[in-house]
């Protein structure tokens, strides 16, 4: 086998809601890929918001370590493009190209990829356009007579982020939809979930087109394929939260040298583990200072676990909501730093589901400063044990471990309020929607923001 190629297919706001993870949605191509891969059932992102999640995944370092503590289009930027996987591989002989959605770099830091594939069309068709661009690129790559340098190709899809694709009632009957457990069964939620179902089905079609093209090009037998997403789905209690509803992700890896054959791993794994894993699988030298662990032993089946805990963070999304969490196989500990009575509503995407739940009092649910969940007895993470006397020592233990992690990674939140960067902006705490002003402009002082 020649030096392997790499293809990463990245979905937006998908969590684990597809048929590969047993959910009642039409994603046959993802399911077929899962049958040929190792599927990670306990995989988590390092930051359940868009830019921080991608930055952590593609650098192997925590979002606050690489300068991405908020959204790219709101003023945050990757500290150094050389820390990005595309730069790491390009410097070692891989030709890197990307198409579709990326949300971790812009002109301020420069593009880490060697090539950008063009894609156009309107909003509702851009994922299909991205897929067709990748199909054409793979076809041309397969037609090349002499073996060129190996490649790394990224394709990022916008869907199933909201606003969702139109969902015809005859194809997506609202009365027969299975809803995620944190959400109420209401007319509004079923309508939103139908849109999600249509959107993720569209993404699955794009995935299928690209995988078919990879096969037809003759490159599949020498290409490692990764399919993942940035974080949970865009509904209350999910995206931007440090429970598994927010950090839980789809992750499947197909290595043609080690066929998965419908295998899964229950090991606790992180997006941070992706860079060290891919470097080892590809035969590239991994940078120093990575926070993840190689999953090669899990892929080969000779190892059961690679990490004891997984740390996750939120600082800014649409608004300021600083919190940190530490998860093990059995427990999830969360610490909220925002000194407000409730969570900021601007950090929840604007859907009909959100409107329904706000009317019911979502914005009045008290914000808990500490949370502790028993994942064996309370997998939905709804019964907070932080104030439970029998769990006091455990709470103290996890709190100390979180402090240690923040110290080791030089988390700026240790020193108090994290200001917006120069030119950055965010919603004020009182905003009910990410689209609603007024906005804070960076840099701001703690008094101005909180």
Structure confidence by residue, pLDDT tens digits, 143-202: 986 768 999 999 999 999 999 999 999 999 999 999 999 999 999 999 999 999 999 999
What per-residue confidence (pLDDT) applies to 164? 96
* SS3 of residue 369 by DSSP: coil
Query: How many C-beta atoms surround the C-beta of residue 257 within 10 A?
Result: 12
Q: Which CATH class is domain 5-300?
A: alpha beta
Q: Where in the chain is the domain with CATH 3.30.1120.10?
A: 310-444
d(CA 4, CA 12): 26
Q: Is the dihedral of CA 377, 383, 385, 389 positive or negative?
A: negative
What per-residue confidence (pLDDT) applies to 302? 87
Mean pLDDT by 10 residues, the chain (450 residues): 92 98 96 96 98 98 98 96 98 97 93 90 78 96 85 97 96 94 96 98 98 97 97 98 98 88 92 98 97 96 95 98 98 97 97 98 97 98 98 98 98 96 95 92 64
CATH number of 310-444: 3.30.1120.10
DSSP symbols for 235-288:
STTSTT-SSHHHHB--EEEEBTTB--SSEEE-S-EEGGGHHHHHHHHHTPPPPT
What per-residue confidence (pLDDT) applies to 335? 98
Q: Where would I find the H helices in 70-125?
A: 85-90
What per-residue confidence (pLDDT) applies to 261? 73
Asked whether the beta carbons of 236 and 362 are under 8 A apart, the reply is yes
Q: Is the dihedral of CA 113, 119, 123, 124 positive or negative?
A: negative
Give the predicted TM-score (pTM) of the model. 0.96
Q: Which residues of 140-168 are buried (b: 16+ CB within 10 A; e: fewer)?
A: ebeeeeeeeebbbbbbbbbbbbbebbebe
């Amino acid at each position: 086998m020649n030096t392997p190629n790499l293809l990463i297919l990245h979905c937006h706001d998908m969590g684990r809601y597809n048929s590969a993870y047993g959910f009642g949605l039409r994603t046959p191509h993802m399911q077929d890929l899962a049958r040929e891969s190792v599927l990670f059932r306990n995989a988590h992102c390092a930051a359940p918001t868009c830019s921080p999640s991608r930055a952590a995944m593609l650098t192997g370092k925590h979002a606050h370590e690489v300068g991405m503590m908020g959204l790219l289009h709101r003023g945050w930027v990757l500290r150094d493009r050389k820390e990005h996987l595309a730069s790491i591989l390009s410097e070692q002989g891989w030709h890197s190209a990307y198409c579709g959605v990326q949300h971790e770099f812009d002109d301020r830091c420069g593009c880490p990829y060697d090539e950008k594939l063009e894609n156009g069309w309107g909003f509702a068709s851009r994922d299909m356009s991205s897929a067709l661009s990748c199909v054409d690129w793979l076809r041309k790559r397969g037609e090349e007579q002499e073996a060129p340098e190996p490649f790394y190709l990224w394709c990022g899809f916008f869907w199933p982020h909201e606003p969702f694709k139109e969902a015809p009632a005859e194809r997506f009957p609202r009365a027969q939809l299975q809803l995620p457990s944190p959400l109420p069964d209401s007319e509004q939620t079923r309508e939103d979930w139908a849109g999600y179902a249509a959107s993720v089905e569209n993404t699955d079609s794009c995935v299928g087109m690209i995988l078919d093209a990879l096969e037809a090009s003759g490159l599949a037998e020498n290409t490692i394929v990764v399919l993942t997403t940035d974080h949970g789905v865009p509904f209350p209690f999910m995206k931007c939260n440090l429970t598994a509803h927010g950090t839980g992700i789809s992750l499947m890896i197909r290595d043609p040298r080690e066929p998965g054959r419908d295998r899964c791993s229950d090991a606790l794994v992180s997006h941070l583990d992706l860079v060290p894993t891919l470097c080892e699988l590809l035969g590239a030298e991994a940078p120093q200072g990575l926070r993840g662990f190689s999953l090669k032993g899990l892929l080969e089946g000779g190892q059961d676990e690679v990490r004891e805990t997984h740390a996750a963070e939120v600082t800014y999304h649409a608004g300021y909501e600083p919190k940190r969490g530490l998860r093990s196989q059995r427990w999830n500990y969360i610490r909220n730093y925002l000194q407000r009575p409730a969570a900021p509503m601007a950090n929840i995407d604007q859907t009909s589901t959100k409107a329904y739940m706000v009317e019911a009092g979502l914005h009045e649910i008290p914000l808990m400063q500490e949370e502790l969940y028993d994942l064996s007895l309370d997998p939905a993470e709804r019964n907070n044990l932080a104030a439970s006397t029998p769990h006091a020592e455990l709470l103290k233990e996890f709190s100390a471990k979180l402090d240690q992690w923040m110290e080791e990674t030089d988390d700026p939140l240790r020193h108090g309020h994290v200001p917006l960067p120069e030119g950055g902006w965010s919603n004020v705490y009182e905003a009910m929607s990410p689209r609603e002003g007024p906005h804070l402009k960076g840099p701001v002082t703690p008094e101005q923001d909180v």
